[in-house]
Structure 1
Amino acid sequence: MTSWTRLILVLLCSAVTPVLGCDWLRHYGHLSNISLTLVQVMGGQLTDQESPVRFPYRLYERIRKDEVESQLAFIRDSLELITGLYRHDNRSSVTWDTDKTERFLMTIDRQTDGLKSCVSTHSRKNITRYYRRLEKSTLYRTGGSPESWELIRKETKLHLEQLDLLAAFVVDSSAASRRRSTETRH
């Protein structure tokens, strides 16, 4: 193998090391499916009411162009911020199934903990601002009304779907990088 080929191989491997070194990522999809199901069934039908805060689709588009470690940090941070919404003091106004709600939060915590083992980056990008605005516009403004909690649940489902897509994108990108690096060795 020439020195140039070795250099290219090292560069390719180092670019995907955060994902390749994170065996936990193969569990993410399963836990994501569980959390998506639980957020759907822990309450009644999701509300059709529009959120007072626009969903950050553009932020998700931008993060897809970032490096793998930044993408994983974004997923981890988003999950932590989602958990923070549900740790709000006044959830008593909703009639959600308590067991399913607690299982939902435990599943989100498991996903967050797993991602913490994969990522060392500490940057929240612009996602913190979005969650603060969402919390203030719904829970604080209404005193934690059932309607505001239903909006939070609806927005949570949207985020979990987008995070699941982003995680699948990371895994697929890593698999493609591994295939390319294997092809360069042969």
Structure 2
Amino acid sequence: MGSISFWMCLVMTICTWNKTIGCTWMRTLPRSPSMFQVFSNNTITMLQKMGHEVSREPQITFPDKQYRQINNFKADEQMAFISHTLNAIKKLYSSGKYESTAWDQKGVDKFMNDLYRQTSELDHCVCNLLLYKWLHVKQII
């Protein structure tokens, strides 16, 4: 029984350590933005530069009301939501359908690289949070 407790303690320590290491992406120091904020601002700026050339077709309205509900979510749920949303955006831009536009390919490549970095870091955080929650529930049971 003692060895099981030792191993459970070791796994919990590693998961907690991994959780804090993986989610430094979202942390900020006083008066400085997190890496997530830096990359997010960069991708938004790139989209604004490219956005005016997207299409002349009628625009689809953005579901603001649904997306504002994220403010009521817990922090880990917000992170999962943001990760899911950014992965959907990455999939949309990975389809290559933008190639018929006059967008600068270097700008698109930088945008995709930044988007990939955001999604991979957030996916890592979400995975660690889910693992931590799962192990925490297992420990209680």
Which one has the bigger helix percentage?
Answer: 2
Aligned length: 103
Aligned residue for 1:23, secondary structure, equals helix
Aligned residue for 2:99, secondary structure, equals coil
Q: Which residue of 2 aligns with 1:92?
A: 99
Find out whether 1:104 has 2:104 as its counterpart: no
Give the C-alpha shift of residue 40 in structure 1: 2.1
- Render the CA deviation track for 1:31-67: whole Å, top value 9, x for unaligned: 0111111112246567686423x31112222121011
TM-score by length of 1: 0.48
Q: Which residue of 2 aligns with 1:31?
A: 39
List alignment gaps of at least 5 residues for structure 1.
1-16, 123-186
TM-score by length of 2: 0.62
- Render the CA deviation track for 1:18-40: whole Å, top value 9, x for unaligned: xx832111210100111111112
- Render the CA deviation track for 1:68-96: whole Å, top value 9, x for unaligned: 11100111111110111112243331110
Give the whole-Å Cα distance in 1 for the aligned partners of 2:116 and 2:43.
Answer: 10
Kindly report structure 1 stretches of 4+ aligned residues shifted beyond 4 Å.
43-50
Identity of aligned residues (%): 30
- Render the CA deviation track for 1:94-138: whole Å, top value 9, x for unaligned: 11000001100110111111111211378xxxxxxxxxxxxxxxx
Q: Which residue of 1 aligns with 2:76?
A: 69
Contact residue 72 and residue 119 of structure 1 kept, 8 A: yes
- RMSD, aligned α-carbons: 2.6
List alignment gaps of at least 5 residues for structure 2.
1-15, 27-33, 131-141
| Residue identity in the other structure for 2:45 | T
Give the whole-Å Cα distance in 2 for the aligned partners of 1:43 and 1:57.
Answer: 18
